[in-house]
């Protein structure tokens, strides 16, 4: 994906859906009783944006700020819709935490034009895009063991619809929680 205006990246959240769907992978402890879970608390969350030492670092700063602001409230709304509530007693049934990463990378689009031999490839302008990933973990507070984990990865785009796309990405990541 080509992006000429790096400033537009500041308007996106870390894990928006790009032109493609979010690729996810989910695993869980098969012997764990997820039916017992009703309340949760937040564990330690982390966001790590890969720096490449150019103008994209400013872009990553904006993405990090939006991710810190948006991910937790969106997840809390999804958990509430599934019947879970935030613990107020100091004795939660599970701990939830996320780990998020974003890396700016470069792309040199290449194309063959009609009427030219296939071995002649024209390169376009170097563009910058981002790959984002988020992992959500559910842990047992008594053992600190992770009992459920889901990971999603997607290209990040600067098309201005970040919150809706972030919500869809998190919905897909949390789709199979709790496992049936």
- CATH code, 82: 3.40.50
Whether residue 130 is contained in a domain is answered as: yes
Higher pLDDT, 108 or 18: 108
Whether residue 29 is contained in a domain is answered as: yes
Nearest-5° angle of CA 134, CA 172, CA 12? 55
Element (H, E) at 94: strand 94-107
Q: Which sign, positive or negative, has the C-alpha torsion 86, 82, 142, 100?
A: negative
Separation CA 87–CA 104 (nearest Å):
37
Q: In which region does residue 66 sit, left (phi positive, over 0), alpha (psi from -120 to 50) or beta (all else)?
A: alpha
Whether residue 102 is contained in a domain is answered as: yes
Whether residue 179 is contained in a domain is answered as: no
Most confident of 12-26, 71-85, 102-116: 71-85
Which domain range does residue 19 map to? 6-174
Of the candidates 13, 22, 17, 10, the one whose C-alpha atom is nearest the C-alpha of residue 67 is 13
Whether residue 160 is contained in a domain is answered as: yes
Whether residue 180 is contained in a domain is answered as: no
Separation CA 23–CA 169 (nearest Å):
9
Chain position carrying tokens 């790096």: 6
Chain position carrying tokens 């701990």: 95
Separation CA 124–CA 2 (nearest Å):
9
pLDDT tens track for 86-139:
999 999 999 999 988 777 665 555 555 566 555 554 445 445 555 678 899 999
Alpha-carbon dihedral 153, 145, 48, 177, rounded to 10 degrees: 30
Say if CB 29 and CB 176 are below 8 A apart: no
Categorize the per-residue pLDDT at 7 as very low, low, confident or very high, splitting at 50, 70 and 90: very low
Whether residue 111 is contained in a domain is answered as: yes
Categorize the per-residue pLDDT at 4 as very low, low, confident or very high, splitting at 50, 70 and 90: very low
The total number of structural domains in the chain stands at: 1
pTM above the 0.75 mark? Answer: no
Exposed, middle or buried, 103 (CB in 10 Å: 0-12/13-18/19+)? Answer: middle
Whether residue 80 is contained in a domain is answered as: yes
């Amino acid at each position: 994906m080509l992006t000429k205006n790096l400033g537009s990246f500041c308007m996106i959240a870390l894990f928006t859906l790009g032109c493609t769907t979010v690729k996810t992978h989910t695993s869980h402890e098969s012997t764990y009783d997820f039916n017992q879970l009703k309340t949760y608390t937040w564990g330690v969350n982390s966001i790590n944006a890969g720096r490449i030492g150019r103008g994209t670092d400013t872009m990553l700063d904006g993405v990090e700020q939006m991710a810190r602001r948006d991910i937790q409230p969106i997840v809390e709304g999804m958990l509430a819709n599934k019947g879970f509530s935030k613990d107020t007693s100091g004795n939660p049934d599970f701990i939830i935490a996320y780990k998020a990463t974003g890396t700016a990378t470069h792309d040199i689009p290449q194309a063959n034009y009609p009427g030219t031999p296939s071995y002649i490839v024209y390169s376009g302008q170097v563009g910058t895009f981002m790959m984002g990933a988020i992992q959500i973990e559910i842990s047992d507070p008594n053992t600190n063991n992770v009992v459920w984990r889901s990971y999603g990865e997607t290209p990040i785009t600067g098309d201005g619809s970040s919150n809706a796309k972030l919500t869809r990405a998190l919905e897909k990541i949390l789709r199979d929680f709790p496992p049936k």
